[in-house]
Amino acid sequence: SRLGCRHALTPSTAALGLPDRIVTRPATRRVRSSRSMSAAHAADAPPLPGRLDPARTAVFVCDVQERFRTVIHGFDHCVHVSSMMLRAGKILGMPAVVTEQYPERLGATVDELAPNLDPRAPPVAKKLFSMITPEVDERLGGMNRDQAVLMGLESHVCVFQTAMDLMARGWEVHVLVDGVSSQRPTDRAAALRRLEASGAMLSTSEMALFDLLKTAEAENFKAVSAIVREKRPEPPLPSL
């Protein structure tokens, strides 16, 4: 029979020199719940690239000045997003860097942003296209930050060169596409493509703010979400 055949092929315990009765105990291993394992993994894992952290982030507002108001495509969007991010930055404890390109000829930062500027860190006048002037570079050295949310103008000149200079210094740069523009939409589109290809992360103001909050239970959720819900200028800037 199949049973007999199996017994015939199976050596006895005596033939193997083993005791007649082998007592086995099931292995005991403490099994952690999936919830505790997930929490432990999250605590031990390094931060994911691209996830914004208020403790690591600084707000960069590039050259949103009065003289550009009538020549920049979608200028009101740059003003609105800059205002949003400066106000949210104060709520979340994020420092801001604001620059002005050749203000003697191009005017100061627009009045709409004045109430949100930190008097301890006034706008930096510059002739360099990039925001990363020696004065700004010195400020960055004392910030202990390595993530930037960047907005302003023009996309293909000052914003582009600022992002490249920050990335060269090891910063992770998030360009807010609803808050950057140029005189010509084609230049804006080319800048965004080039920035993404170079390693910058394309985002929006709403995307960035909710990433900074992480949860509806965040202490500052109501204050920041109220900023997000504000009416936006129309028409919207071109999509990517």
Cβ atoms of residues 62 and 176 within 8 Å: no
Instruction: Give helix 75-92 / helix 221-228 axis angle, nearest 10°.
Output: 180
User: Catalytic site residues?
Assistant: 63, 126, 158
Q: Using alpha carbons, select from 64, 229, 61 the residue that is nearest to residue 131.
A: 61
Q: Is 100 exposed, middle or buried (0-12, 13-18, 19+ CB in 10 A)?
A: buried
Strand order in the sheet with 201-203: 124-126, 96-101, 57-62, 147-153, 172-181, 201-203
Owner of token pair 């239970």: 217
